[in-house]
Amino acid sequence: MKRKQPALPDSSEWSFESIERYDREIGRIAREYGLDCYRHQLEIITAEQMMDAYASTGMPVFYHHWSFGKRFLSTEMSYRRGQMGLAYEIVINSDPCIVYLMEENTLPMQALVIAHAAYGHNSFFKGNYLFRTWTAAEAIIDYLVFARNVIAEYEERYGENEVEQLLDACHALINVGVNRYKRPAKLSLTKERERRQERESYLQSQINDLWRTLPLRHEREEKEADRRFPAEPEENLLYFIEKNAPLLEPWQREIVRIVRKVGQYFYPQRQTQVMNEGWACFWHYTMLYHLHEQRLLSDGFMLEFLQSHTSVMLQPPFNSPQYGGINPYALGFAMWRDIQRICKYPTAEDREWFPDLAGGDWREVFDFAMRNFKDESFIAQYLSPRLMREFRFFNILDDTSHPRLRIEAIHDERGYRLLRQCLADQYNLGNREPDIQIWNVDLRGGRSLTLRHFRHQERPLGDACETVLKHVATLWGFPVRLEEQDENGQVRLLSEVMVDRRKDDHGP
């Protein structure tokens, strides 16, 4: 202890001054560790407001839709019944980074949230490549305000029901409305507003490749029969519909666009759950311990902190009644701690598995890992044999063509690599969700749209896809077909929805 400092407030009641003092001290530690964060803003809210925020995907402003009401009602129900506590924190990936503190929490809990969210998550949002390329922190709040106003305006002009139906359809496609590989353009409110008008009129005239009536030259016509539209399969269904659906009005395209943009904004969060939560937990743990070592925190504070920390980190085994899958907090936290351990105190096994890390500067390794990975690659790269043993991981093969399940790998020498690969795959959204792409539009006939499901590991589509297909048809306005291409390249028709919106619109 180099300098003598007054200890931080020790009461369990928080006050604005004590929160500010904690923030100052935690901020100091964060800078010592070299965490690069956005500015942040702490907002004190009530439990009720926390439920509101929960229901609208955590965002402070959002457009209105019944599904958020549904989420609110179920949150309220389980909260009132005492089945679940509310989350301690919600943090918004924006610049400044907004962190909600719930009024009912004690001072140690507020300090924990500040360390966890305002410095942990915050630095992850700022550093990780997925967030950097796919979200624009400085523009998101403005964009959401814009989205809410535009949608309210449309509700007024075209009727709540019309807008609701459209939103239903778009929400059904939100998971297949993201660019997984192509980098999207940045959102910016001013540009967005300027270009909206322009886009509306311009796009309407552009779509209509589908409507082209000028006779094509003869020599090209034969090739035309084979040519598909789009030339390459399109993975982003909402994008394709926004740009190409022939019958949508300009305002409808704008709504499709809003849902797509919002879906894209949340996509990185879904891909970095383990890493992101683990990172935040690692830092709140490390920073608060550091403060305790400097004798700024009382033992009582640490006990309360450890109590809630450990209950979040609990990983029940597979056969426990409490088991609900792998706890991303536990796995993430353990992995970051393990990487630190490998750097600082490597064993012979670590040197063999991670020659680049062993004995290195853990801060540099952390920075590199945080910036350049997502859950899938992070696990594939950094999960150590030691951690697999600690978690006692094992892998089950569930193959419908076999009557029984088979254990493929356990935490032993022969199993490590397979186990690690399987766990990484388990976090690959591309594996978990079916791969469905726009395959073709019948330009010469009925303008029907064909989607193709590329089957993987013989996993079929669920029943709900029929309903989703109807939503696609609502947006497209013409018949929609869903095909499935199996592992051998065999294609079969799964389902088909016949609609022709033109007839509906003009009556019989």
Partner 1 sequence: MLQIIDRRNDSKNKSAVNRNRFIRRFKGQIKEAVREAIARRSIADIDKGEKVGIPAKDIAEPQFRHGRGGRWNIVQPGNDRFIVGDEIERPQGSAGDGGSDASPDGESLDDFVFSLSREEFLDIFFDELALPHLVKTQLANVVEYKRVRAGFTSTGVPTNINVVRSLRGATGRRIAAAAPYLKTLRAMREELAQLEACGEGESDRATELRREIGYLLRKIDSLPFIDTFDLRYNNRIRIPAPSTQAVMFCIMDVSGSMDEEKKQIAKRFFMLLYLFLTRTYEHIEIVFIRHHTLALEVDEEDFFRSRESGGTVVSSALELMCRIVRERYTTDVWNIYCAQASDGDNWDADSPKCSDLLESVVIPLVQYYAYIEISDGEPQNLWREYSKIKAKYSQCFAMQQIGNLADIYPVFRELFKKKLA
Measure the CA–CA gap between 38 and 26, rounded to whole angstroms.
15
Number of residues that bind partner 1 (CB under 8 A): 97
- Please select the residue that binds partner 1; options are 5, 41, 133, 307, rule is CB under 8 A: 41
DSSP 61: S
Cβ 2 to partner 1 shortest distance, Å? 25
Cβ 391 to partner 1 shortest distance, Å? 4
89 binding partner 1? (CB under 8 A): no
Binding span for partner 1 by CB under 8 A among 130-138, 225-233, 281-289, 407-415: 407-415
Query: Which two tokens mark 20?
Result: 């500010």
464 binding partner 1? (CB under 8 A): yes
SS3 state at 233: coil
Binding span for partner 1 by CB under 8 A among 34-42, 196-204, 305-313, 440-448: 34-42
Binding span for partner 1 by CB under 8 A among 21-29, 198-206, 358-366, 473-481: 21-29
Cβ 225 to partner 1 shortest distance, Å? 30
Cβ 223 to partner 1 shortest distance, Å? 33
Phi, psi (rounded to 5 degrees) for 196:
-60, -50
SS3 state at 352: helix
The sign of the dihedral angle between the CA atoms of 482, 397, 417, 271 is: positive
224 binding partner 1? (CB under 8 A): no
- Closer of 130 and 167 to partner 1 (Cβ): 167
- Closer of 161 and 213 to partner 1 (Cβ): 161
Which of the residues 46 through 75 are near partner 1 (CB under 8 A)? 46, 48-49, 51-53, 55-56, 64-70, 72-74
Cβ 492 to partner 1 shortest distance, Å? 15
Binding span for partner 1 by CB under 8 A among 130-138, 281-289, 387-395, 492-500: 387-395
DSSP 321: T
449 binding partner 1? (CB under 8 A): no
- Please select the residue that binds partner 1; options are 195, 363, 432, 502, rule is CB under 8 A: 432
- Please select the residue that binds partner 1; options are 205, 310, 322, 457, rule is CB under 8 A: 457
Cβ 242 to partner 1 shortest distance, Å? 18
Closest of 492, 442, 433 to residue 468, by C-alpha = 433
Cβ 107 to partner 1 shortest distance, Å? 14
400 binding partner 1? (CB under 8 A): yes
Which of the residues 247 through 276 are near partner 1 (CB under 8 A)? none
Q: Check: CB of residue 408 under 8 Å from CB of residue 396.
A: yes
422 binding partner 1? (CB under 8 A): yes
Q: Check: CB of residue 376 under 8 Å from CB of residue 428.
A: yes
- Closer of 365 and 422 to partner 1 (Cβ): 422
- Please select the residue that binds partner 1; options are 340, 426, 485, 495, rule is CB under 8 A: 426
DSSP 320: S
460 binding partner 1? (CB under 8 A): yes
Give the chain's end-to-end CA distance (angstroms, integer). 85
DSSP E strands: which ranges in 63-117?
89-92, 97-102
394 binding partner 1? (CB under 8 A): yes
403 binding partner 1? (CB under 8 A): yes
Measure the CA–CA gap between 49 and 90, rounded to whole angstroms.
11
189 binding partner 1? (CB under 8 A): no
494 binding partner 1? (CB under 8 A): no
Measure the CA–CA gap between 438 and 449, rounded to whole angstroms.
8
38 binding partner 1? (CB under 8 A): no
Cβ 45 to partner 1 shortest distance, Å? 5
Q: Check: CB of residue 207 under 8 Å from CB of residue 241.
A: no
218 binding partner 1? (CB under 8 A): no
Phi, psi (rounded to 5 degrees) for 451:
-100, 150
Which of the residues 303 through 332 are near partner 1 (CB under 8 A)? 315-320, 323-326
Binding span for partner 1 by CB under 8 A among 210-218, 226-234, 288-296, 453-461: 453-461
76 binding partner 1? (CB under 8 A): yes
77 binding partner 1? (CB under 8 A): yes
3-state secondary structure 124-173: HHHHCHHHHHHCCCCCHHHHHHHHHHHHHHHHHHHCHHHHHHHHHHHHHC
DSSP 234: B
SS3 state at 102: strand
Query: Which two tokens mark 198?
Result: 């322009």
| Residue 340 vs residues 118, 138, 295, 455: alpha-carbon distances, Å | 22, 32, 23, 40
Which of the residues 116 through 175 are near partner 1 (CB under 8 A)? 160, 164, 168, 171-172, 174-175
104 binding partner 1? (CB under 8 A): no
- Please select the residue that binds partner 1; options are 30, 150, 151, 176, rule is CB under 8 A: 176
361 binding partner 1? (CB under 8 A): no
Q: What angle do CA 337, 376, 90 make, to 5 degrees?
A: 65
Query: Which two tokens mark 474?
Result: 């609502």
Cβ 427 to partner 1 shortest distance, Å? 9
Q: Which residues does residue 101 pair with via DSSP β-bridges, in sequence order?
A: 44, 89
Closest of 145, 390, 177, 354 to residue 264, by C-alpha = 177
Residues 466-485 as x/- pattern, contact with partner 1 by CB under 8 A: -xx--x--------------
| Residue 429 vs residues 94, 272, 335, 374, 375: alpha-carbon distances, Å | 24, 10, 20, 11, 10
